[in-house]
Copies of this chain bind each other. A is one copy, B any other.
Amino acid sequence: MTPARLESFSDNVLAFAATLLVLSIAVPPLTSKEGLAGALGHEWPSFVAYVVSFSTIGIIWINHHATVRRLKAVDHTVHVLNLALLMTVVILPFTTALMAAYLKSRDGEHLAAAIYAGSFLLMAVTFQVMQRVVMLGRGHLVTGELSNAERRAFVNRSARGIPLYLLATVIAVVSAYATLALCGLLAAFYALPGTTADGPGG
């Protein structure tokens, strides 16, 4: 099987998941007492979480692209691992809405932040597993342009995000704001030039 349809299906899912994030931003009810400006101001966690999650999905998309274009064929195992990765991405509109709803609450904000960063961590780990199985364990599927050492460097580079998302998950115990800030910093860092294939799981 050629990777073309895997790539197109993955593109679709990543694009839809990123677009569905907008549903986590609610239109304030007309009856709100504080007025529209006040209501939107109180909703700032929704906007920040939207930007952080959209950027993170964008980066995973860039890195997914970088991985798949190095494949000349895919097999059943690659398909299944790729579906597992997509399943971790599609959950993000939920974890983003959860983070947005609970960030400013006095109850549950630590758990919501841990789930938020934890969903990025799960995505990064799943991507690392997929890359390790494909790049290192299934050399016959990889185009000839990469040497063994290059493949190993590619996979290891993409593991770098994992401890940082683990940190973001753990510090949720201390502060949900710190978790959101760290996830945002990671997305911003990976958007810098020269960092392709360093992103979350990529």
Q: Report which of B79, B107, B115 forms a contact with A35, defined as CB distance below 8 A.
A: B107
Query: Which residues from 125 to 142 on chain A have a C-beta closer than 8 Å to any C-beta of chain B?
Result: none
Q: For chain A, what secondary structure do more than half of its interface residues adopt (helix, strand, loop), or is it mixed? A: helix
Are A11 and B14 within 8 A (Cβ)?
no
Q: Does A51 contact B (CB under 8 A)?
A: yes
Are B30 and A69 within 8 A (Cβ)?
no
Complex copy number for this chain = 4
Chain A contact residue count (CB 8 A cutoff): 61
Write out the residue numbers on chain B whose beta carbons fall within 8 Å of the beta carbon of A35.
107-108
A98 CB → nearest B CB, Å: 5
Query: Given A77-B193, A101-B30, A90–B54 Cβ distance below 8 Å?
Result: yes
Are B94 and A27 within 8 A (Cβ)?
yes
- A8 to B4, alpha carbons, bound, how many Å? 11
- The 8 lowest CB-CB distance pairs between A and B, nearest first, are A36-B108, A12-B15, A58-B83, A16-B19, A76-B196, A25-B94, A13-B15, A80-B191
What are 30 residue pairs bridging A and B, where the CB atoms are less than 8 Å apart in the complex? A1-B66, A5-B65, A9-B11, A12-B15, A12-B16, A13-B19, A15-B16, A16-B20, A17-B19, A19-B20, A19-B90, A20-B22, A20-B23, A25-B94, A27-B97, A27-B98, A30-B105, A35-B107, A36-B102, A36-B107, A36-B108, A40-B115, A51-B87, A54-B87, A54-B90, A55-B83, A58-B79, A76-B193, A76-B194, A77-B193
Known: A27-B98, A58-B86, A83-B191. 17 other contacts (CB 8 A): A1-B69, A5-B7, A8-B8, A9-B14, A12-B12, A12-B16, A13-B18, A13-B19, A16-B19, A16-B20, A21-B90, A25-B91, A27-B94, A36-B108, A36-B112, A54-B83, A61-B83
Instruction: Give me the interface of A with B, judged by CB distance under 8 Å.
Output: 1, 5, 7-9, 11-23, 25, 27, 30, 35-37, 40, 50-51, 54-55, 58, 61-62, 65-66, 69, 76-77, 79-80, 83, 86-87, 90-91, 93-94, 97-98, 101-102, 105, 107-108, 111-112, 115, 191, 193-196
